[in-house]
Chains A and B, each alone.
Chain A
């Protein structure tokens, strides 16, 4: 098995180090209105002396700059990403074509409803499709990402308790929860209390019973959970939670494993968010944008954010803010519409049978890879797995860590799996449903080759990667002495610095 350099190697200058004063990559027509004397229209103190000192680069060098940057990125179109809990599936080209249709991409949010019936109908259909997939009553499309959906969901739950004259101050989260869960509790003014997991990765019901009380607003569960198992106790968990008047929240990060097989609403969930950039194939874009639609059960509908897209009695579509108990708005305008168009396109492309096929193939792929790796890579939780699984590599005496193995995978053209979460020193592996058996085999062979390397030449693994434009970076200094912006060596100052020096 050979390693392959997949990225350009040579050093590459910053934007600010290329170009020359006077260059510009855009040509605008000259203004055809009479110029206004600025000092007559605006007090002089408010006018800029100089425009911002942005780079000045010609078009071809600009193109080459961003081409070279693009060559220095792993991406789904070129690389396999077995990245647990992130669901890095293929992003179909058709999504991009539809989202770029002028009738979707060139709409202003304040156009009359009569002029935008098509997009409103699309959003309404998506709203209904997502409620059906969730097995819940109604969905809001407004939240901008998964964590924003968690926050929105918790605000809805808080509003529900308030409407019953209760203030509940704590939220329970399993110790294996994504970091966003406790962080979302904090942003909603609630304390998050961890609940222990059992040795087999399931929620420890005794610990849950001990911690849930009349001050508990919700329990946030991820199911299948982050170790890749479906917690079959979930109906009992719902009962325990509901008996104390609390709500069951589902982090929908792992919906890929259960699409069309089971629905959160059917296993007792009151409120959940989706991650469209995981489950519904919208691209990750180097970190975003996502979208985090939130679905709720009947008793929580009245608290959903406004405005909501609705179908009126006359069959037209529009926005309604008629929801007096709504938590309000969580985002400007209506949501990440361009992302939602892609999610709609994907759901309609694969349809109900395709959604179920996604879950089946995602689970098949994870179990196949696990079965092929289990002799060399210990797995603390027994199969069958859902869409992902966890291994805790154990190569005693080699000095090789989970991070080293992950970094060595880069040399084989594979993106590292999720590391050290949710178990210390683990690799969390999620192949997703869109990979072919050949790609899965390539990954397995790379993992086995690395296991051999660890036994024969551990240094090559400990010092990996070797094929990348840079080798391991000093992340400690990057945080201790942060350099988060470029500065011109000739001491050109920012406007703020100028104002302070005068």
Chain B
């Protein structure tokens, strides 16, 4: 395929306007010694049917979640995506627009981001939100950098029940910044509050917890946030935006910074990305926040309009003194989430959350009735829970896979102590019949 539009004669005409006799002359500044000899070792271009056959062949070698019944979670969830989400967010006017630095030519997407920020504030219970970061792990890392800047402290307590990817990414960022990460144990699926209080001190910049956490359990944010703040540390909470339909949002417990994986808000699974990093905080920290923020303002005629606000925090103005290096964000995923939240509305989101809650509890109850299976943790959970089995995780999940069921995520890959455990997520998309099939498959080993 070819996406350039110059014919040979148009090339000649253009060259004569430039005043050179060949395209080659235009590359004269590149010394011959540095040129590629020969061609790139990449296949020749394909026709459109040829390309479709190549990619369809690759796609056909994946078993996907419309063919399989998905009980996998762990930060990526098989929620229902209403038709309007694709139809409206993937309009090429949004898809192929550039970052809205030119406000007059970008009012539509600026307004969309402003509405997105508002709805994120509503879901998290926070005062301000940005227009997106990459995904939850790097958003958590940005939140930690923000907390160390605000508190001028260098020690960060991270609950063991936070998603392992988030913890690993925090470690990577911390290594470069002389930030000490202290892991607070969560032996019973939720953070050990005594250990947390014991670890808090004058140098603690932030406490990072996730609720519902990696194991699906709901943390006692009503105890954790005040404990952190009693020591002058910020409470950084990672959350599931869908949970707000059932649970109080982190803002209700006084969280200082909330991050979230926004994938659940209408973003397809697509093998782990692109997803949507959400970051919201208290208004007083707005100027320390990373990433783009859209503000409402007026034009010279007094009409309401929108523009990027507080750009002096950002790298293109502040360079080495910027609050973050982020430039490209996840605008299109924010658009998806915005349409999803607007389509669901107050009632739809509550219904999704409520069905996740009920179906997960039904599944957990039925699985726990099976011989050799029990719930690993007693803590309350939302849409995900850890199953412990004496029958062997591998055998149990293989039995599910034989029935075209993705039965859960084995936890041994994250923690050897959990080698007899797997994580089961149940979204509103699952039916009672599918849950019963899962239970039957697990019972068959």
A4 at the interface (CB under 8 A from B): no
> Which residue from B106, B272, B358 sits with its C-beta under 8 Å from A335?
B272
Q: Do A118 and B62 touch across chains, with their CB atoms under 8 A apart?
A: yes
- A1 interfacial contact with B, CB 8 Å: no
Smallest CB gap from A74: residue in B: B105
CA distance A67 to B322 in the complex (A): 35
Is B393 part of the contact surface with A, judged by Cβ < 8 Å?
no
Q: How far is the CB of A251 from chain B (nearest CB, A)?
A: 12
Given known A74-B97, A286-B100, A351-B44, contact A92–B108 (CB-CB < 8 A)? no
Q: Is A435 located at the chain interface by the 8 A CB criterion?
A: yes
CB 8 Å contact bits of A96-140 with B (1 = contact, 0 = none): 111101111111111110011111011000000100110100000
For B105, what are the chain A residues with a Cβ–Cβ distance below 8 Å?
7, 73-74, 79, 410, 415-416, 465, 468
CB distance from B319 to the nearest CB of A (A): 4
| A:179-208 near B, CB below 8 Å | 179-180, 182-192
The reply to whether A358 and B354 contact each other, CB–CB distance below 8 Å, is no
CA distance A417 to B93 in the complex (A): 19
* A151→B325 contact, CB < 8 A: yes
Which B residues are in CB contact (< 8 Å) with A174? none
Contacts of A357-393 to chain B: CB distance below 8 A = 357-358, 360-361, 363-365, 367-368, 371-372, 383-386
Q: Is the CB of B1 within 8 A of A474?
A: no
Bound Cα distance from A66 to B270, whole angstroms: 24
Binds B, one of A240-248, A293-301, A446-454, A493-501: A493-501
Given the interface contacts A54-B349, A353-B44, does A473 sit within 8 Å of B30 by beta carbon?
no
Asked whether A266 lies within 8 Å of B327 as measured between CB atoms, the reply is no
The A144-184 residues at the B interface (CB cut-off 8 A) are 144-148, 150-151, 155, 158, 178-180, 182-184
Within 8 A of A (CB), among B203-241: 218, 220-222
Residue from B59, B168, B346 in contact with A329 in the complex, judged by beta carbons closer than 8 Å: B168
Q: Which residues of B contact A288 (CB under 8 A)?
A: 132, 274, 328-333
- Tell me, rounded to whole Å, the shortest Cβ–Cβ distance linking A134 to chain B: 10
- With most chain A CB atoms within 10 A of its CB, the pick from B11, B45, B96 is B96
Q: Are A47 and B297 in contact (CB under 8 A)?
A: no
- How far does the alpha carbon of A373 sit from the alpha carbon of B112 in the complex, in Å? 37
The reply to whether A465 and B104 form a contact with Cβ atoms under 8 Å apart is yes
What's the nearest-Cβ distance from chain A to residue B416, in Å?
Answer: 14
Asked whether any CB of chain A lies closer than 8 Å to the CB of B443, the reply is no
Q: Are B271 and A109 in contact (CB under 8 A)?
A: yes
Is B274 a contact partner of A52 (Cβ separation < 8 A)? no
B163-196 interface with A by 8 A CB criterion: 163, 165-166, 168-169, 171-173, 175-178
- Are B321 and A186 in contact, CB atoms less than 8 angstroms apart? yes
Query: A184 to B318, alpha carbons, bound, how many Å?
Result: 12
Return chain A residues, CB-CB under 8 Å to B118: 16, 485-486
Q: Fill in one digit per residue for A6-22: 1 if any B CB lies within 8 Å of its CB, else 0.
A: 01000110111001001
Given contacts A332-B136, A434-B3, contact A187 B23 (CB under 8 A): no
Name which residue of chain A comes closest to B86, CB basis: A100
How many A residues touch the partner, as a band? 35 or more
The answer to whether A145 and B6 have CB atoms under 8 Å apart is no
Q: Within 8 Å of chain B (Cβ to Cβ): is A260?
A: yes
* Complex interface: chain A residues within 8 A of B48 (CB): 94, 349
Q: Contact between B17 and A372 (Cβ–Cβ < 8 Å)?
A: yes
Q: Does A323 lie at the interface of the complex (its beta carbon under 8 Å from any beta carbon of B)?
A: no
User: Which residues of chain A are near B64, meaning CB under 8 Å?
Assistant: 102-107
Contact residues in A for B89 (Cβ distance below 8 Å): 66
Q: B328 and A289: CB pair below 8 A?
A: yes
Give B254-281 as 1s and 0s: 1 = Cβ < 8 Å from A's Cβ atoms. Answer: 1000000100000011111111000000
Q: In the bound complex, what is the Cα–Cα distance between A185 and B189 (angstroms)?
A: 38
Cα distance A339–B295 in the bound complex, in angstroms: 28
A343 at the A/B interface (Cβ < 8 Å)? no
Chain B residues within an 8 Å CB radius of A104: 58-59, 62, 64, 270-271
**A170 smallest CB distance to B (angstroms):** 11
User: Measured between C-beta atoms, what is the minimum distance from A456 to chain B in Å?
Assistant: 23
Residue of A53, A332, A406, A500 contacting most chain B CB atoms (<10 Å): A332
Query: Which among B18, B68, B299, B401 has the highest number of chain A CB atoms within 10 Å?
Result: B18
A483 to B304, CA, bound (A): 12
Complex contact A499–B328 (CB within 8 A): no
Residues 349-392 of B, flagged 1 when their CB comes within 8 A of A and 0 if not, give 11111110111011000000000000000001000000000000
For the A-B complex with A28-B348, A46-B222, A331-B138 known, give 13 more contacts whose Cβ atoms are closer than 8 Å.
Answer: A26-B84, A67-B88, A75-B96, A145-B326, A267-B34, A277-B328, A285-B97, A290-B328, A328-B169, A361-B4, A478-B297, A479-B310, A495-B249
